[in-house]
Amino acid sequence: MIKKLTAHRPIEILHGGRTLPLVVDSVDEDGKRYEVVAKFFIAEHGGARAKIAELFCSLLAQQLGLQTPMPYLIQFPEGFADTVTNSEVAEKIRQSNGLEFSSHYYPGLSIVPPHMSIPRDFELQAASIMTFDGLIQNPDRRVDKPNLLKGDEGYYLIDHDMALDMFDPGIIGGTPAPWDSTAVGSNSYDFLKSHLFNRGLKGKEETFTSIEKTITSLSDATLMVILDQIPEEWWLNHDKYNELKEYFNESTRNSSAIVNLIKSSLPND
């Protein structure tokens, strides 16, 4: 199960993100120290929906064999905000009323630059990431905004707070499922034409086979394990728990259609 940490002291602010993530020295219940990146999703940045998206997608990515910084839940003790020199970040901490999303800090990883080509050894991983972004309906890993880290062992996925847009108002309980192209009337995965890896995977449709099989293997029990790690207080509407689980159960049953639609977004010029 996901670890819960307590913030000990601020280290630095990462100014590249709209939420102004804060690197924090933190401690678990056994006194072990962790350096993590904490994100604060006040209402204007998505609130509880964004926190659920970050944690759910991070855990789902790991289950699908993709690399993502280890997620943690973190709480900020009273008075912590007073130790933060940036007034905007300090105010976000004061508005925090419970657990926040955080992830392991990897200072040795580099941010993937825009328009970077895909190394041959990373093509399978790139196809899996593009498929994952289609699965979670994440439009925020683009050529001009990669939201991806890179190390010697490949890519590490970050920033999923804009995913799961089926939440509200979206697909769940509303519009047709994105893989039902007849009902939708168009390709709901066309947003992937702007994906970081779209042009680099042109003509390499075979690289999508492995991730399709992995998605198909997702079980109801696995999804419940993931969902049960999301803090109770984050669920503003408890019906969304079951609706989200059912949506991804249906996704696994329609993985072939999803992958085919994603591949159809690749350039053919």
Express each pLDDT in 105-152 by its tens digit. Answer: 999 999 998 888 899 999 999 999 999 999 999 999 999 899 999 998
Task: Say if residue 82 is in the same domain as residue 130.
Answer: no
Mean pLDDT for the stretch of residues 74-83: 97
Whether the per-residue pLDDT at 165 is higher than 80: the answer is no
Task: Say if residue 20 is in the same domain as residue 123.
Answer: no
141 inside domain: yes
- pLDDT of 171 reads 45
Task: Say if residue 144 is in the same domain as residue 30.
Answer: no
Task: Say if residue 152 is in the same domain as residue 74.
Answer: no
Whether the per-residue pLDDT at 169 is higher than 50: the answer is no
Q: Kindly indicate the confidence band of residue 45, based on its pLDDT and cuts at 50, 70 and 90.
A: low
Instruction: Sort strands 4-13 and 22-27 into parallel, antiparallel or unpaired.
Output: antiparallel
Could you tell me the pTM of the whole model? 0.93
Which residue in this structure is represented by tokens 């999301």? Answer: 230
From 72, 104, 136, the end of a domain falls on 104
Query: What is the rounded distance in angstroms from the CA atom of residue 105 to the CA atom of residue 7?
Result: 14
- pLDDT of 17 reads 66
From 46, 77, 104, the end of a domain falls on 104
Sequence-distant (6+) residues with CB within 8 A of 44 are none
Whether the per-residue pLDDT at 180 is higher than 90: the answer is no
268 inside domain: no
Q: Kindly indicate the confidence band of residue 166, based on its pLDDT and cuts at 50, 70 and 90.
A: low
Task: Say if residue 100 is in the same domain as residue 184.
Answer: no
Q: pLDDT of 193-207, one tens digit each?
A: 999 999 999 999 999
Burial class (CB in 10 A: 0-12, 13-18, 19+), 59: buried
269 inside domain: no
Query: What is the rounded distance in angstroms from the CA atom of residue 95 to the CA atom of residue 85?
Result: 16
Task: Say if residue 177 is in the same domain as residue 246.
Answer: yes
Task: Say if residue 69 is in the same domain as residue 167.
Answer: no
Do 40 and 50 contact (CB within 8 A), yes or no?
no
Task: Say if residue 114 is in the same domain as residue 62.
Answer: no
255 inside domain: yes
DSSP 195: B
172 inside domain: yes
163 inside domain: yes
Sequence-distant (6+) residues with CB within 8 A of 69 are 37, 58, 103, 104, 105, 106, 149, 156, 158
The enclosing domain of 121 has a CATH number of: 1.10.1070
Number of domains in the chain: 2
Share of the chain above pLDDT 90, in %: 74
- pLDDT of 183 reads 65
Share of the chain above pLDDT 70, in %: 92
Task: Say if residue 186 is in the same domain as residue 218.
Answer: yes
From 75, 104, 133, the end of a domain falls on 104
Mean pLDDT for the stretch of residues 245-261: 94
Task: Say if residue 163 is in the same domain as residue 215.
Answer: yes
Task: Say if residue 233 is in the same domain as residue 195.
Answer: yes
Task: Say if residue 128 is in the same domain as residue 212.
Answer: yes
Q: Kindly indicate the confidence band of residue 97, based on its pLDDT and cuts at 50, 70 and 90.
A: confident
182 inside domain: yes
Whether the per-residue pLDDT at 237 is higher than 80: the answer is no
Whether the per-residue pLDDT at 73 is higher than 60: the answer is yes
- Residue 183's domain comprises 110-263
